[in-house]
Amino acid sequence: MLLEHIGIINLWTYLAGLIVIILLPGPNSLYVLKTSASKGIKAGYVAASGVFIGDAILIFLSWLGVASLIKASPLLFTAVRFLGAFYLLYLGIKIIYVNFFSGKNPATASLNEQENVLTKALTLSLTNPKAIVFYISFFVQFIDFSYSHTGLSYLVLASILEVFSFLYLSTLIFGGAAMARFFKARQSLAKAGNGLVGLFFMGFAVRLAAISS
């Protein structure tokens, strides 16, 4: 079977599940979409890079067993969960504040704000306990642990994930840029859209805080 010689099993099932999971909306993809819509294609790819790096770190931690340790420790898992929820809430409130109360144009950002895009996207990825659970429960189903080099198996599966994620996020980035052109002359709609994004982030925060380990 394809790739079984390097400890990967049920590859086609993995690919099917991966596509479904990547297409599910979440804070990472929403942040990439918002960034590209408000700051342009280049900034969108900076945000996407933060997601890629975060995924790579979580996959590596999963391979080391750190992710399993976090999941097995209710206190540690809860700490990560609330950290992620607070950060999502902070982003949502900040988006709504800048959009409606600061008097700034949300479509324009300072150099400092541009530089923070990578950090924000990376923080979103690393403080998402659902991603930790995903890398524990999903990846192990497709790895033959009798294979002596499971690090290679993880690397191949992670590379496939990153390629699919790149294609999906690229679609969002160019879609966001197209949305920006559409909303450029429609400021009231742009404000409503930004406000909705802020509410989505706050909703993600509430949902994350409410889940159990």
Other beta carbons less than 10 A from residue 41's beta carbon: 15
Whether the predicted pLDDT of 110 surpasses 60: no
Band of pLDDT at residue 190, cut at 50, 70 and 90? low
Find, among 197, 202, 187, 200, the residue nearest to 105 by Cα. 187
Determine if residue 35 is left, alpha or beta; phi over 0 gives left, psi from -120 to 50 gives alpha, anything else beta: alpha
pLDDT of residue 45: 94
Could you give the 3-state DSSP secondary structure of residue 9?
A: coil
Helices and strands (H and E) in the chain: how many? 9, 0
Mean pLDDT, residues 44-72 taken together: 82
Q: How confident is the model at residue 154 (pLDDT cuts 50, 70, 90)?
A: confident
Q: Which pLDDT score is estimated for 112? A: 46
The pLDDT score that the predictor gives to residue 104 is 57
Q: Is the pTM of this model over 0.85?
A: no
Q: How far is CA 90 from the centre of its chain?
A: 16
- Which range is least confidently modeled, 40-44, 98-102, 125-129? 98-102
Helix (H) or strand (E) holding 30: helix 27-39
- Is pLDDT of 109 > 60? no
Q: pLDDT band for position 48 (50/70/90)? A: very high
Quick one: pLDDT at residue 111?
41
Domain spans, the chain: 3-179
Residue from 48, 91, 96, 105 nearest 193 by CA:
96
* CA atoms of 169 and 172, how far apart (whole Å): 5
